[in-house]
């Protein structure tokens, strides 16, 4: 019997609503405009103005939060829940090496993480939602500053973005270069890691390099601490629980013949579960102190908890996957590995049910293969309409069916 030929996954076209399909050109134009004018964390003044102007033309009222954050509200006038759609607006201190016509015009600044496309997709979704109207409730549009290591999400929450009206569900997506263009993943549970930072000052006794017995050498102690810290993940953490402990910087000394009085190490810890996070912190402190002590030194520890893990609400993640299947077909809604990277969307997910989605944007056939934060980073812009559609449908379906 001849085998029935099935269409390759890549040939399946997304099912776009006519209003979104009509914006396919505009979403690319918006993305390219923002791409050419990148601004880094908490300097997004021009980007914020651009967003405000666009929303004003749509007669969507806006307010500023956290200096450069912009919040818009679309109100159906009917009772119902509130969904918040979030886009981050900041670029990175990277010099773009792409030579396409829409490359960055700000030297040393580049949208190398794709936040330009998040803003463009959310603006277009706002246009569709405003013009076609909402079935009930409200849509809050959250254009946040400073996602890249600056905790703009935390600043927005502190400034009250989740209140008046109270947010019942928060949604965001990220263009995702580890994943092929056209695919979407909405993971159950943890999807982006908790981020902690540490600085260890190993204090010894300096002296002449030729007389080590008259010193307490912090270089030797620091080296031993690095080695011992690598037992935390391999010997203390359950092998089924992800954890990373990286010593990323180590500095000591000034000359070949001097034992310095101090060595400084910096690093990061990435985990997904609270108990693992606590365990790694506890073991790090204990190993650093006792190793230093054993070698005649002491250690001063500055440990900073930066961000919690981004944890998707499982029921809502399934709700989003169902909508994504309707748009791009069930074979393209895939499972993906969680990322050990951090994401300040966790600030919202800590407080309200939330879903963070990966929108695949890699396309080797077009040479779009460079990872996030690379000077040649780019995205396959053909995925942008599906992203707009996902924002629109998630908002409409959530508001139609209420709190579930």
Element (H, E) at 62: strand 62-65
Residue span binding Zn ion (CB under 5 A) among the ranges 46-54, 113-121, 155-163, 391-399: 113-121
> How many Cα atoms sit within 13 Å of 103 on the Cβ side?
13
Q: How many residues bind Zn ion (CB under 5 A)?
A: 1
For residues 310 and 271, give the distance between their C-alpha atoms in angstroms, rounded to a whole number: 11
**113 vs 186, which CB is nearer to Zn ion?**
113
Minimum separation from the CB atom of position 373 to Zn ion (A): 6
Alpha carbons 236 and 218: distance in angstroms, whole number: 26
The helices-and-strands tally (H runs, E runs) of the chain is 10, 15
CB-wise, 284 or 390, nearer to Zn ion?
A: 390
Binding segment for Zn ion (CB under 5 A), chosen from 108-116, 258-266, 345-353, 388-396, is 108-116
Catalytic pick from 90, 96, 168, 217? Answer: 90
Cβ-proximal residues to 112 (8 Å cutoff; 6+ apart), any chain = 91, 92, 94, 96, 372, 373, 374, 375, 377
Q: How far is the CB of 249 from Zn ion (least distance, A)?
A: 20
Q: Residue 347: what are its φ and ψ, rounded to 5°?
A: -60, -35
Within 10 Å of residue 219's Cβ, how many Cβ atoms?
19
Catalytic residue among 39, 147, 217, 378: 147
The reply to whether 378 belongs to the active site is no
Query: Is position 84 an interface residue for Zn ion (rule: CB under 5 A)?
Result: no
Helix (H) or strand (E) holding 270: strand 262-271
Is the CB of 113 or the CB of 333 nearer to Zn ion?
113
26 is catalytic: no
Instruction: Out of 30, 51, 113, 222, point to the residue binding Zn ion (CB under 5 A).
Output: 113
Binding piece for Zn ion, criterion CB under 5 A, among 110-118, 220-228, 330-338, 382-390:
110-118
C-alpha Rg value of the chain to the nearest Å: 24
CB 169 within 8 A of CB 111: no
Nearer to Zn ion, 85 or 113 (CB): 113
Closest CB to Zn ion among residues 87, 311: 87
**List of residues contacting Zn ion (CB under 5 A):** 113
Residues annotated catalytic, as ranges:
90, 147
């Amino acid at each position: 019997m001849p085998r029935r030929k099935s269409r390759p996954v890549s040939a399946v076209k997304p099912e776009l609503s006519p209003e979104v399909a009509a914006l396919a050109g505009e979403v690319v134009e918006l993305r390219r405009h923002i791409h050419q004018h990148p601004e880094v964390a908490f300097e997004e003044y021009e980007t914020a103005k651009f967003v405000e102007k666009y929303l004003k033309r749509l007669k969507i009222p806006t307010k500023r939060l956290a200096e450069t954050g912009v919040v818009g509200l679309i109100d159906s006038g009917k009772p119902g829940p509130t969904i918040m759609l979030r886009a981050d607006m900041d670029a990175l201190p990277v010099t773009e090496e792409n030579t396409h016509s829409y490359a960055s015009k700000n030297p040393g600044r580049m949208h190398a993480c794709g936040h330009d496309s998040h803003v463009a997709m959310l603006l277009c979704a706002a246009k569709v939602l405003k013009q076609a109207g909402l079935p009930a409730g409200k849509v809050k549009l959250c254009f946040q500053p400073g996602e890249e290591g600056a905790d703009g999400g935390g600043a927005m929450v502190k400034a009250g973005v989740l209140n008046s009206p109270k947010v019942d569900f928060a949604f965001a997506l990220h263009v995702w270069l580890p994943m092929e263009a056209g695919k979407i993943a909405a993971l159950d549970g943890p999807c982006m890691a908790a981020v902690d930072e540490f600085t260890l000052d190993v204090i010894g006794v300096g002296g002449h390099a030729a007389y080590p017995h008259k010193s307490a050498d912090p270089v030797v102690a620091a080296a031993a601490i690095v080695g011992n810290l690598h037992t935390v993940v391999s010997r203390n953490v359950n092998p089924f629980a992800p954890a990373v402990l990286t010593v990323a910087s180590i500095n000591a000394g000034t000359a070949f013949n001097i034992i310095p009085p101090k060595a400084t190490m910096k690093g990061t810890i990435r985990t997904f579960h609270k108990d693992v996070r606590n365990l790694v912190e506890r073991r790090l402190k204990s190993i650093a102190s006792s190793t230093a002590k054993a070698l005649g030194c002491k250690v001063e520890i500055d440990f900073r908890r930066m961000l919690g893990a981004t944890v998707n609400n499982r029921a809502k993640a399934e709700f989003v996957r169902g909508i994504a299947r309707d748009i791009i077909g069930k074979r393209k809604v895939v499972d993906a590995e969680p990322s050990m990277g951090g994401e300040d969307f966790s600030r919202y997910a800590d407080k309200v049910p939330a879903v963070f989605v990966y929108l695949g944007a890699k396309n080797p056939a077009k040479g779009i293969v460079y990872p996030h934060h690379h000077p040649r980073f780019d995205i396959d812009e053909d995925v942008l309409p599906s992203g707009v559609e996902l924002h629109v449908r998630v908002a409409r379906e959530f508001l139609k069916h209420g709190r579930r």
